[in-house]
């Protein structure tokens, strides 16, 4: 078994637009070189650099998790600014474990594909992993993992139990378990949903909202492909859950993934940010498209 990590730079397109190709390339090359050394210090092997990211393999799940957390903490505590301006650099990461085939130094396999898709799905400063990785970790290392529930990863026909690593620990050292403060104030979650210039904010434990063609819907979408009550959105089990109740289905595009999760009288957890289309794919003409962002 091999553990695979994909670590991607968030917003690299903006960096290249702001700095220009030559300066941005130099900056990204130095950044990925620095990150490579951190991965190697945790027994990782950098398979290859991916322009604005890294593909790394580890012999053990614990080493991979420790390396990712170390990098996220370092970027938070010692912010890096591209060219000295703009927002601090952020990374999004995915970790998966499984059988990997190595050919001439490159690695292939389902675990590689899944780790890449988890990194795409992750939001800024997030580390996502799976039940397989969690099960392989020592019990003391499982504490910071929070289930996001079953999610369809692009290209996979079966759902994957996805976990988010809560790596930002509290600072109250007098009452901690597995590095997570018991006294720290819980992080506040908020989901923003936007359509046609109208934005709704859904807080945890708020009332369920409805999305549909009906004028009485919380988010009204006037389109013939949209059912009167097309979908609902509420907070359940510590996550925001989108449930399709329509005639024609709901398409959910997570993060940078191009392949949607298609809901037909089924539901999906919403994580990070992405787009939702009602009654059709987003490539359809004038598709009724909503944008969402889960903020912590």
Q: Transcribe 64-121 into DSSP letters.
A: HHHHHHHHHHHHHHS--BGGG-SSBP-EEEEEEEE--EEETTEEESHHHHHHHHHHHH
Residue 188 pLDDT: 55
User: Domain spanning 190-295 has what CATH number?
Assistant: 2.60.200.20
User: Whole-model pTM?
Assistant: 0.63
Residue 64 pLDDT: 95
Tens of pLDDT, residues 20-42:
888 888 888 889 899 999 999 99
Q: Which of 166, 210, 206, 156 is nearest to 186 (CA)?
A: 166
Section 156-171 average pLDDT: 77
Selected residue with higher pLDDT from 235 and 186: 235
Cβ contact 290:276 at 8 Å: yes
DSSP 63: H
Binning pLDDT at 50, 70 and 90, where does residue 131 land? very high
Cβ contact 252:259 at 8 Å: no
Residue 179 pLDDT: 31
| Highest mean pLDDT (candidates 48-57, 82-91, 159-168, 208-217) | 208-217
199: Cβ contacts below 8 Å, ≥ 6 apart: 192, 193
pLDDT score of 79 more than 90: no
Residue 230 pLDDT: 96
| Per-domain boundaries in the chain | 2-181, 190-295
pLDDT score of 82 more than 90: no
DSSP 170: -
Cβ contact 107:6 at 8 Å: no
Binning pLDDT at 50, 70 and 90, where does residue 296 land? low
Q: Which of 112, 161, 151 is nearest to 261 (CA)?
A: 151
Topology, domain 2-181: Alpha-Beta Plaits (3.30.70)
- Could you give phi then psi for residue 184, rounded to 5 degrees? -65, 145
Rg (CA), the chain: 20
Cβ contact 6:116 at 8 Å: yes
**β-bridge partners, 83:** none
Section 108-130 average pLDDT: 89
Average pLDDT, the chain: 85
Selected residue with higher pLDDT from 205 and 249: 249
Of 9-18, 199-208, 277-286, least confident by mean pLDDT is: 9-18
Binning pLDDT at 50, 70 and 90, where does residue 184 land? very low
Residue 123 pLDDT: 77
Binning pLDDT at 50, 70 and 90, where does residue 180 land? very low
Tens of pLDDT, residues 5-20:
999 988 777 788 777 8
Section 217-246 average pLDDT: 90
Report the run of H or E that residue 58 belongs to, with start and end: strand 53-58
Binning pLDDT at 50, 70 and 90, where does residue 181 land? very low
DSSP state string for 241-276: EEEE-SSS-EEEEETT-SSPEEESS-EEEE-SEEEE
Q: How far apart are CA 1 and CA 42, in angstroms?
A: 17
Strand duo 231-236 + 250-254: pairing: unpaired
- Could you give phi then psi for residue 22, rounded to 5 degrees? -65, -50
């Amino acid at each position: 078994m091999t553990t695979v990590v994909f670590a991607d730079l968030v917003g690299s397109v903006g960096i290249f637009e702001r700095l220009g190709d030559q300066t941005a390339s130099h900056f990204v090359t130095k950044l990925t070189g620095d990150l490579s050394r951190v991965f190697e210090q945790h027994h990782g092997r950098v398979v290859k650099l991916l322009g604005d990211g890294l593909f790394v393999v580890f012999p053990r799940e614990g080493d991979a998790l420790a390396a990712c957390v170390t990098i996220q903490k370092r970027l938070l505590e010692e912010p890096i600014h591209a060219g000295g301006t703009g927002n601090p650099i952020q990374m999004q990461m995915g970790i998966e474990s499984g059988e990997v085939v190595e050919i001439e130094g490159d690695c292939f396999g389902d675990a590689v594909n899944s780790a890449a898709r988890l990194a795409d799905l992750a939001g800024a400063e997030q580390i996502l992993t799976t039940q397989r990785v969690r099960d392989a970790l020592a019990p003391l290392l499982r504490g910071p993992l929070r289930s996001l529930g079953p999610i369809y990863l692009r290209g996979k026909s079966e759902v994957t139990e996805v976990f988010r690593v809560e790596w930002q620990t509290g600072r109250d050292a007098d009452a901690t378990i597995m590095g997570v403060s018991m006294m720290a104030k819980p992080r506040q979650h908020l989901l923003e949903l936007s359509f046609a210039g109208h934005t709704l904010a859904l807080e945890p434990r708020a009332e369920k909202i409805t999305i549909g063609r009906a004028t009485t819907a919380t988010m009204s979408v006037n389109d013939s492909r949209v059912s009167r009550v097309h979908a609902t959105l509420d907070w359940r089990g510590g996550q925001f859950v989108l449930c399709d109740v329509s005639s024609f289905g709901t398409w959910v595009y997570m993060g940078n993934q191009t392949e949607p999760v298609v809901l037909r009288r089924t539901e999906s957890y919403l994580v990070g940010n992405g787009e939702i289309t009602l009654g059709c794919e987003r490539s359809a003409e004038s598709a009724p498209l909503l944008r969402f962002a889960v903020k912590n």
